[in-house]
Chains A and B, each alone.
Chain A
Amino acid sequence: MSDPFARVAIEGDTGRGVVHREHALALAAGHFPGDPFLPGAYLVELMAALAERVAAPARVHAIVRCAFARRVRPDTEIVVTARAAGVLVEAQLAAGGEPAARATLRLA
């Protein structure tokens, strides 16, 4: 996956990333024609990408839980935040300023 973020800020054990709109459009291609939104798996991938920036060089090994609250349209601003705590990372994803997904990720 190419770098999904247009901007990333890391401070200590927390991070915030704004997703490239072109990247979001590519992830939503074919999902679905006339009603595009990003697949949940790719929202997890975006949260994991930021988690791995925050916790480098650790990598995400497991998704403890990820819940989705609403559809994420590719033409909205998508912002990911993450906070590392030991082997876990708590990540959130917002679309158009509204909470859309929340995940707990386990690092290896």
Chain B
Amino acid sequence: MSTLAKLRPEQVMRHQPPALLLGTIVESTATGLACDGIDDGPWRWARLLEGAAQVAGLLSGLQPGGPGAAAVIGEYRDVTLHARRHDGRVRFHAALDRCILGFWRCRVDARTLDGRLLLSGLVAVAPRART
């Protein structure tokens, strides 16, 4: 566990409730991050996807040379909805896949606490969005 694990997502993210979907950081490495969801749901698939995007954004934003708190989502790719909805606790994982032209691509998933896969895919985090 690195010092990142001592952070709370709300300390470094612009999201405020009800948009903030990340609770506690439970695991962090140089290229990966796992966070528990902020509540027990219900987690419809889009809320799971947004939580997965938030952990990807947090991971990317914390990288040296990363987009920081201004990160936005540029693209989703190959996202599979393994469940339409989940009631209960969830854990989000993000792992850095590659960085090209300022876009940080992460492999993400959302799982139940006993490891059942709810959603998986790729998220590209962009430095900032056009207004």
Which residues of chain A have a CB within 8 Å of any CB of chain B? 1, 28-33, 35, 37, 39-42, 44-45, 48, 59-71
Contacts and interface: CB of A to CB of B under 8 A. Distances in A.
B16 A32 contact: yes
Given A70-B129, A71-B129, A44 B49 contact: yes
B46 interface: yes
B22 to A, nearest CB: 12
Interface of B: 14-20, 44-47, 49-50, 53, 72-81, 84, 121, 126, 129-131
A1 B44 contact: yes
Contacts of B80: 61-62
A35 B50 CA distance: 18
Nearest to B46: A45
20 contacts: A29-B18, A30-B16, A31-B16, A32-B16, A33-B14, A39-B19, A39-B53, A40-B50, A41-B46, A42-B46, A44-B46, A45-B45, A62-B79, A63-B77, A63-B81, A68-B75, A68-B129, A71-B129, A71-B130, A71-B131
